[in-house]
Amino acid sequence: MTRLHTTQRDDVERAWLVATTLGNQPRAVVEESLRELRALADTAQAQVAGETLCRLRTIQPAMYIGRGKAEEIAAEAKEACANLIIFDDDLSPAQGRALEDVFGVRVVDRTQLILDIFAQRALTLEGRLQIELAQLHYALPRLRGLWTHLERQQGGIGLTGPGEKQLELDRRRIEQRITRLRDQLQAVRNRRAELRRGRRRHGWALVTLVGYTNAGKSTLMNRLTDANVLADDQLFATLDPTTRQLQLPNNQLCLLTDTVGFIRKLPHHLVESFMATLEEVNEADLLLHVIDAAQPRVDEQIAAVETVLRELGAHQKPLLAVFNKTDLERAHNQALRLAEHFQHSVAVSAVTGEGLATLGQMIADLLRDRVTHLHLRIPAAEGRLLAALHANGKVLSQKISGKHLRIEALVSAAFAGTLDPKWIES
């Protein structure tokens, strides 16, 4: 199946997309795969010139698809003035070189495309270090092919970041650079660990947003915390983690972190390279799995997120499923169906605010074991302590009893530990 896209712009690369399906996969699954590949290409700022769906009985070791099909695609891509071929699958170095010989233009596989998007979106030093490490891991087994094309590479998709500089490095220098990057990222991990220890000492509960890319995590983060996280309708709009303070209905304060979105077939070494960032998932007291309930292939997206959580060792963390985009009609029925598969779930719209009050209460309920219920008897003159109780928890009642105040309050366990025991009645 081939589709031609006729609109042309001169300022971007023109890409021909190639998706494959093995056996008798449902057509809807294949169409969703192509849709996502189009979105990835658009995010990488390429113009889609056309696309081909190849139905394969088996994967061909030499060039992934058969030579005849490759030659057919080459002719169609040339007619459409495509100067880039993007595969929805990962290609071996040998397959990539063989395909480039047939196509006569550069070939980029799914991993290389995702790496390029990450390189475009990395804004912090930590993000740039992590993406460079992932790119070098990807480049290392492909050095021979990269050297072959050194003279005619002029940058573009798949070459952002280290780019041409990578091509000049021999294997030993790349391995040395990988070692240095790992050392630098270990220092980042150590700093993050120290920050988390500081938060623990102050009694902060750590809540982390996870989910498929473009599920609405950043919009939800902005709604809950008045943050200013980029929330574009694009894949991987958020790459660098953002943490903000969130006050819950019981006045408990927690820290909410937005993380990079997951995606189907997320490259393993990308997960490894971004471990400094993804540790926020492992260290969380509660995960909020944000799900685009209006997405037709939502079950596959949920499965992709759960796969990454298992890979991180975070699949048994306390989790609240947040069915987002209920302002869209399709999302309501899907949310009802999906709720049966999660122990804790809530339906919300990060755009309209529907369900956010319920979400806040559910977060508070799931973090209840971090809250202490106290009955206090304090001197009436201890105004600062009363103010601290209001700031660090929720005062349920207070009564004057002679020169003392009798107070019932919910406070964080850490704050309760700072109180003078003589004031605590129960």
Assign 238 a pLDDT band (cuts: 50, 70, 90).
low
Q: What is the pLDDT at residue 301?
A: 92
Assign 256 a pLDDT band (cuts: 50, 70, 90).
very high
User: How many CB atoms sit inside 10 A of residue 147's CB?
Assistant: 12
Same domain, 341 and 243: yes
For residue 241, pLDDT over 70 is answered with yes
Amino acid at 293: A
Same domain, 83 and 224: no
Q: Within a domain: residue 270?
A: yes
Query: Which has more pLDDT, 140 or 47?
Result: 47
Look at the block and give the residue holding tokens 């006569």: 104
For residue 72, pLDDT over 80 is answered with yes
Q: Within a domain: residue 32?
A: yes
Judge contact between 230 and 219, C-beta under 8 A.
Answer: no
Of 377, 360, 384, 371, the C-alpha closest to 424 is 377
Q: Within a domain: residue 188?
A: no
Same domain, 345 and 244: yes
Same domain, 362 and 218: yes
pLDDT digits (tens, 9 = 90+) for 116-143: 888 887 777 888 888 899 888 888 887 7
Domain of residue 165 covers: 116-183
For residue 176, pLDDT over 80 is answered with yes
For 152-180, what is the mean pLDDT? 65
Q: What is the pLDDT at residue 203?
A: 66
Q: Final residue of a domain: which of 91, 108, 125?
A: 108
Same domain, 221 and 337: yes
DSSP 287-336: EEEEEETT-TTHHHHHHHHHHHHHHHT-TTS-EEEEEE-TTSHHHHHHHH
Judge contact between 410 and 393, C-beta under 8 A.
Answer: yes
Q: Within a domain: residue 349?
A: yes
- On the 0-12 / 13-18 / 19+ scale of CB atoms within 10 A, 79 is exposed
Same domain, 14 and 156: no
pLDDT digits (tens, 9 = 90+) for 276-308: 678 889 889 999 999 999 988 899 899 999 998
Q: What is the pLDDT at residue 152?
A: 46
For residue 154, pLDDT over 60 is answered with no
For 396-418, what is the mean pLDDT? 81
**% of the chain beyond a pLDDT of 90:** 33
Q: 370 in helix, strand or coil?
A: helix
Amino acid at 60: Q
Same domain, 324 and 266: yes
Phi, psi (deg, nearest 5) at residue 8: -130, 140
Q: What is the pLDDT at residue 153?
A: 47
Q: How many folded domains does the chain comprise?
A: 4
Q: Within a domain: residue 197?
A: no
pTM: 0.76
User: How many CB atoms sit inside 10 A of residue 110's CB?
Assistant: 22
User: How many CB atoms sit inside 10 A of residue 316's CB?
Assistant: 8
Residue 220 tokens read as 């939800």
Contacts of 412 (CB under 8 A, 6+ apart): 203, 205, 252, 253, 370, 371, 372, 392, 393
Q: What is the pLDDT at residue 348?
A: 96
Query: Which has more pLDDT, 202 or 172?
Result: 172
For residue 220, pLDDT over 90 is answered with yes
Q: Within a domain: residue 217?
A: yes
Same domain, 90 and 122: no
Q: Within a domain: residue 321?
A: yes
Q: Which of 22-31, 61-70, 193-202, 404-413 is most confident?
A: 61-70
The mean pLDDT value of the chain amounts to: 83
The distance in angstroms from the start CA to the end CA of the chain is: 72
For 177-196, what is the mean pLDDT? 86
Task: Pick the range with the lowest mean pLDDT from 222-226, 263-267, 314-318, 349-353.
Answer: 263-267
Same domain, 343 and 250: yes
Assign 405 a pLDDT band (cuts: 50, 70, 90).
confident
Q: Which of 17-31, 104-118, 365-379 is most confident?
A: 104-118
Q: 251 in helix, strand or coil?
A: coil
Query: Which has more pLDDT, 74 or 329?
Result: 74
d(C-alpha 236, C-alpha 274), whole Å: 14
Same domain, 286 and 248: yes
Q: Final residue of a domain: which of 57, 86, 108?
A: 108
Q: What is the pLDDT at residue 168?
A: 54
For residue 165, pLDDT over 60 is answered with no
Amino acid at 163: G
Same domain, 375 and 347: no
For residue 404, pLDDT over 90 is answered with no
Q: Final residue of a domain: which of 85, 108, 131?
A: 108
Same domain, 328 and 357: yes
User: How many CB atoms sit inside 10 A of residue 238's CB?
Assistant: 22
Contacts of 340 (CB under 8 A, 6+ apart): none
Of 81, 84, 76, the C-alpha closest to 109 is 84
DSSP 335-357: HHHHHTT-SSEEE--TTT-TTHH
Q: What is the pLDDT at residue 179?
A: 92
| Beta strand residue intervals within 58-157, DSSP E | 84-87, 106-108
Cα R_g (the chain), whole angstroms = 26
Contacts of 135 (CB under 8 A, 6+ apart): 115, 119, 161, 162, 166
CATH code, domain carrying 49: 3.40.50.11060
